[in-house]
Chain A
Amino acid sequence: MNATSVSRGDTARDGRAARIVVWDAPVRLFHWLIVLCFAGAWLTADSEHWRLVHVTFGYTMAGLVAFRLLWGVVGTRHARFSSFVRGPRAALRYLGSIARRRPEHYTGHNPAGALAIVALLVLAVAVTASGWAAYAYLGDSAEDLHEGAANAMLLLVGIHVAGVLVSSWLHRQNLVKAMITGRKPGAAEEGIRRTWRGLALVMLAAVLGFWWLEWQSAPTGLDLAPLAATPTAIVREPGREGDDD
């Protein structure tokens, strides 16, 4: 905790304790927007009132995943697939080190987390592609696949969150906070030089712009009235209108 008193730019004597930037801004924004999209789509999945909102969350997720796949090739160091995707053997070894309570240290994603990330990305592609197919032209025949992929994704999200909590506890570092601030303790040469904040702003603008377009092109507007309406507003009883007060 001494490292927190070291001001930014100072070279800490103990390099490992200094906080370095590991996650660039687009990676962090992607993560939390995906959380929002998945949670939002899950909560709006069962109602036709919310169908457009559900579809909008899904299309947003598809766009975000497309960006992340690209960013995994051209992005910053710890965002690149080549830096964190390892085989199942590495994941097992890492899980073994966790079981022995002597977790191997990784500045970026650990191999087990990386496996979850790859599986989540694959499932996100399956969920959005099948959802689009069901919504756009296939109807029910694509829906079983859509629901199956979404359930599998929820299960994996649960595993991912559990893994993050266990790792945070064992490594004595708040990985959730790291995904917000982008900072982790580590050696200076492990950090990234640019955070690409401008690109994150462009991403955010693109997402908000897409939502605005979806809102504008909704045929009946987003029909939120039925959910807010009180029964008296819908059931018109003749003769009651004048003497409501």
Chain B
Amino acid sequence: MKTTSSFRTDSRRLTAAAWLAGALVAPAVIAAAPADLLDQLTARAGAPPVPERGERLFTTRQQRGWSCASCHGAPPTRAGRHAATGKAIAPLAPSANAARFTDAAKAEKWFRRNCSDVLGRECTAAEKADVLSWLLTLEP
């Protein structure tokens, strides 16, 4: 009987350890993803990103009247406000919102949609890399 109970305790300890490990590792895995996406974009751009250029692109109002900051705010470490609907938009900077840029397909989709709105065209890989590299420099 003793062996069974100690086995139970062990398995409980093991579960607790697994949870703890999971809790410690999970944010690290998520936090790694924006950098991975930046690597992919940089590889496609064929040149290292320039954060200052990304900031300029992000905050400059374009011909259609909007900048990225019109909705995402400046700096985008705080919640933004949709320029047309007034609805709150969760912070864009990964340091303030761990979910951002963790899903490459989702990031590409929103780059495509939002670049069309702001610039009237899709962004180049270099432009996306610039913006993301700047966002990654932001502290909350």
Contacts and interface: CB of A to CB of B under 8 A. Distances in A.
Interface of A: 46-52, 55, 139-140, 218-220, 222-223, 225-227, 229, 231, 234-235
A199 to B, nearest CB: 33
Contact of B84 (A140, A220, A234): A220
Contacts of B84: 48-52, 218-220, 222-223
A229 B65 contact: yes
B97 to A, nearest CB: 12
B113 interface: yes
B65 A226 contact: yes
A48 B82 contact: yes
A136 to B, nearest CB: 9
A49 B63 contact: no
Instruction: Determine chain A's interface SS by DSSP, over half rule.
Output: loop
Given A46-B113, A48-B114, A220 B64 contact: no
Interface of B: 61, 63-66, 71, 82-86, 90, 106, 113-114, 116-117
B63 A52 contact: no
A226 B64 contact: yes
Which 10 pairs of residues, A with B, have the shortest CB-CB distance? A219-B86, A226-B65, A226-B64, A223-B84, A231-B63, A48-B117, A51-B84, A51-B85, A234-B65, A52-B85
Contact of A234 (B61, B71, B114): B61
Q: DSSP class of B's interface residues: helix, strand, loop or mixed? A: loop
Contacts of A219: 84-86
Contacts of B63: 231, 234-235
- Among A220, A222, A235, the most chain B Cβ lie within 10 Å of the Cβ of A220
A140 B106 contact: yes
Contacts of B82: 48, 51
A223 B83 contact: yes
Contacts of A218: 84-85
A51 B113 CA distance: 12
Contact of B66 (A46, A226, A235): A226
A189 B116 CA distance: 56
A218 B63 CA distance: 23
A227 B85 contact: no
Given A47-B117, A51-B84, A222-B84, 7 more contacts: A48-B71, A51-B85, A219-B85, A220-B83, A227-B64, A229-B65, A234-B64
A51 B84 CA distance: 7
28 contacts: A46-B113, A46-B116, A47-B113, A47-B116, A47-B117, A48-B71, A48-B113, A48-B114, A48-B117, A49-B64, A49-B66, A49-B84, A49-B117, A50-B84, A51-B85, A55-B85, A139-B90, A218-B84, A219-B85, A219-B86, A220-B83, A223-B84, A226-B64, A227-B64, A229-B65, A231-B63, A234-B64, A234-B65
A222 B86 CA distance: 11
Contacts of A50: 84
Nearest to B62: A234
A46 B114 CA distance: 9
A109 to B, nearest CB: 38
Contacts of A222: 84
Contacts of B64: 49, 226-227, 229, 234
Contacts of A234: 61, 63-65
Nearest to B61: A234
Nearest to B110: A140
A41 to B, nearest CB: 15
A51 B86 CA distance: 11
Contacts of B71: 48
